[in-house]
């Protein structure tokens, strides 16, 4: 009756029924969301059932918005991998969270350059914030606890006095973020809390951890904290062997706005630029990301505003104190010899450094400047272990399309990895998700169109006969409309059976 490909709907009837039109519109939205390649669905699969449900709602006059919010994932409509209790994992937001923390203007209170350029203020306000927010009762300011408790009991619906300390622990990331961003001074741990807080508020059903580098590598002492996301809760303590480091994403604003996976981070893409072992990585905290609505309920705006006002009042009192000038001078002087103070240059640019193109693309697609995006693409294209996650075809197909469109060197690397894919089922899925432009660009520029042989692969890439055989009818129709008659008759048509030629038209 109809089919949908590349967002285009082709109807067999001149005036299709409302049900058919709504059904195909749902498929167009599925494809736009990257959930399913274009072409003909299998009757009864998850995508067809979903489209039918949308159409049924439209025909009956009901809103289909809620159904569209629950799109199926993966081939055959199976649920995507879950963090817990079958909830679909949304893995996004690390780059946005890093940029959000960076753009607050927070200065690194334990970096010599920041201390000197602010006349010592960055380290003083960092220490002031720490005394307010720490859970260490022997160190923190009691008056801040009193102010926080009063404000929380008044602003958080349902919070009782007996539950305050548990609430404070559960919202530590958010409390630290609000105070440090108000005072504009922080160390790496405070940046980790700030970035982690953003991830907890902007994503759902993944876990946001506070990770730390510790111990020694040779004579180099490691002392650094960062935010880390993962589909599951990673146990506190030294990093366990069961953690898939390729799925764990580091969001490290303090280390000059770095986003990378844990495998790359531990291989040397870290502030110390040294490879580290599992016992050099420690997990200290972990909270489930529950999204903006839960964040606004558990940590409402009025509460945030009251915390900001108090923190800034305290800083102003410090500045008006008799010893403020001397305290700043002493901080600068001490920073010149204090071994706990870091010395490195920062440029503030977003640095997405990943070897997995599937995970790279969502981190830079529409995020950061063109220069930052190009640096990330070049890093990936030149990486000796550059790859795609062929076990997540939906996201990989989205990444391939984006990386091809980005041009060289990412385009060339994408083609190279596509040629190397030696799995017929996955290759078929990949090819049928490409637009006609991308498909022919790959076939033409890598020499597949002239690649002959009796087997599926020859010369390290698929043969043209194999490619044509694996393309579905809808994709072949789009390809025929895109390329010249000469290219079609020379490279495609010879590999079609009579039946398929009639089907393509």
pLDDT(5) > 60: no
Give the whole-angstrom CA distance, residue 3 versus residue 40: 6
Residue 479: Cβ-neighbour burial (10 angstroms; 0-12, 13-18, 19+)? buried
Question: How many degrees, rounded to 5, is the angle at CA 299 between CA 293 and CA 302?
Answer: 105
pLDDT one-digit tens code per residue, 172-204: 999 999 999 999 999 999 999 999 999 999 999
The pLDDT of residue 134 is: 85
Residue 307 to residues 180, 304, 379, Cα–Cα distance (Å): 11, 5, 41
Band the pLDDT of 27: cuts 50, 70, 90. confident
Question: How many degrees, rounded to 5, is the angle at CA 152 between CA 150 and CA 156?
Answer: 140
> How far from chain centre, in Å, is Cα 76?
25
pLDDT(480) > 70: yes
Record the pTM: 0.78
Choose among 366, 373, 330: nearest CA to 350.
373
pLDDT(75) > 50: no
Crossing angle between the packed helical segments 172-183 and 121-133, to the nearest 10 degrees: 150
Give the residue, 50 or 400, on which the prediction is more confident: 400
Radius of gyration of the chain (CA): 27
Residue 173: Cβ-neighbour burial (10 angstroms; 0-12, 13-18, 19+)? buried
pLDDT(82) > 60: no
CA atoms within 13 A on the CB side of 213: 27
Domain definitions of the chain by residue range: 2-77, 94-335, 354-504
Choose among 417, 342, 350, 339: nearest CA to 383.
417
pLDDT(162) > 90: yes
Q: What is the mean pLDDT of the chain?
A: 88
Q: Which of 60-69, 79-88, 462-471 has the highest mean pLDDT?
A: 462-471
Give the whole-angstrom CA distance, residue 317 versus residue 310: 11
Residue 108, strand partner residues: 186
Q: Are strands 220-221 and 216-217 parallel, antiparallel or unpaired?
A: antiparallel
Write phi, then psi, for 185 (nearest 5 degrees).
Answer: -140, 135
- What is the DSSP code (8-state) at residue 41? P
């Amino acid at each position: 009756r109809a089919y949908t490909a590349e967002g285009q709907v082709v109807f067999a009837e001149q005036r299709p029924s409302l049900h058919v039109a709504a059904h195909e519109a749902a498929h167009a939205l599925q494809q736009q969301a990257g959930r399913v390649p274009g072409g003909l669905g299998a009757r009864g699969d998850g995508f067809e059932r979903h489209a039918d449900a949308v159409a049924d709602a439209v025909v009956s006059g009901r809103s289909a918005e809620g159904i569209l919010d629950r799109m199926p994932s993966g081939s055959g409509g199976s649920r995507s991998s879950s963090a817990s209790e079958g909830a679909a994992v949304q893995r996004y937001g690390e780059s946005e969270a890093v940029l959000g923390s960076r753009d607050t203007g927070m200065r690194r209170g334990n970096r010599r350059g920041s201390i000197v350029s602010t006349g010592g203020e960055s380290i003083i306000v960092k220490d002031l914030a720490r005394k307010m927010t720490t859970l260490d009762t022997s160190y923190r300011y009691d008056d801040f606890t009193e102010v926080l408790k009063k404000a929380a009991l008044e602003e958080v619906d349902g919070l009782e006095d007996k539950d305050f300390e548990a609430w404070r622990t559960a919202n530590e990331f958010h409390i630290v973020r609000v105070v440090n961003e108000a005072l504009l001074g922080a160390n790496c741990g405070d940046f980790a809390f700030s970035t982690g807080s953003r991830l907890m508020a902007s994503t759902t059903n993944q876990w946001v951890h506070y990770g730390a580098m510790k111990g020694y590598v040779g004579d180099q002492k490691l002392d650094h904290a960062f935010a880390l996301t993962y589909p599951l809760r990673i146990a506190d303590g030294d990093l366990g062997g069961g953690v898939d480091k390729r799925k764990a994403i580091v969001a490290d604003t303090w280390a000059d706005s770095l986003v990378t996976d844990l495998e790359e981070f531990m291989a040397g893409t870290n502030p110390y630029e040294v490879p580290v072992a599992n016992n050099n990585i420690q997990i200290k905290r972990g909270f489930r990301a529950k999204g903006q609505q839960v964040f606004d309920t558990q940590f409402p705006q009025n509460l945030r505003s009251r915390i900001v006002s108090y923190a800034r009042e305290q800083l102003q009192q410090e500045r008006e104190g008799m010893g403020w000038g001397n305290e700043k001078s002493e901080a600068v002087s001490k920073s010149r010899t204090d071994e706990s103070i870091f010395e490195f240059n920062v440029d503030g640019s977003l640095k997405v450094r990943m070897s997995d193109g599937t995970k790279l693309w969502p981190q830079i697609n529409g995020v950061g400047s063109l220069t930052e995006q190009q640096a990330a693409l070049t890093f990936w294209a030149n990486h000796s272990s550059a790859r795609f996650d062929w076990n997540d075809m939906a996201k990989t197909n989205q990444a391939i399309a984006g990386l091809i469109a980005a041009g060289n060197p990412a385009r060339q690397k994408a083609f190279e990895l596509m040629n190397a894919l030696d799995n017929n089922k996955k290759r078929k899925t990949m090819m049928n998700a490409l637009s006609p432009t991308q498909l022919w660009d790959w076939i033409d520029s890598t020499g597949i169109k002239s690649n002959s042989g009796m087997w599926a692969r020859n010369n390290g890439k698929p043969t043209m006969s194999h490619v044509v055989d694996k393309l579905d009818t809808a994709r072949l129709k789009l390809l025929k409309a895109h390329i010249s008659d000469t290219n079609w008759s020379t490279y495609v048509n010879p590999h079609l059976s009579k039946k398929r030629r009639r089907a393509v038209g």
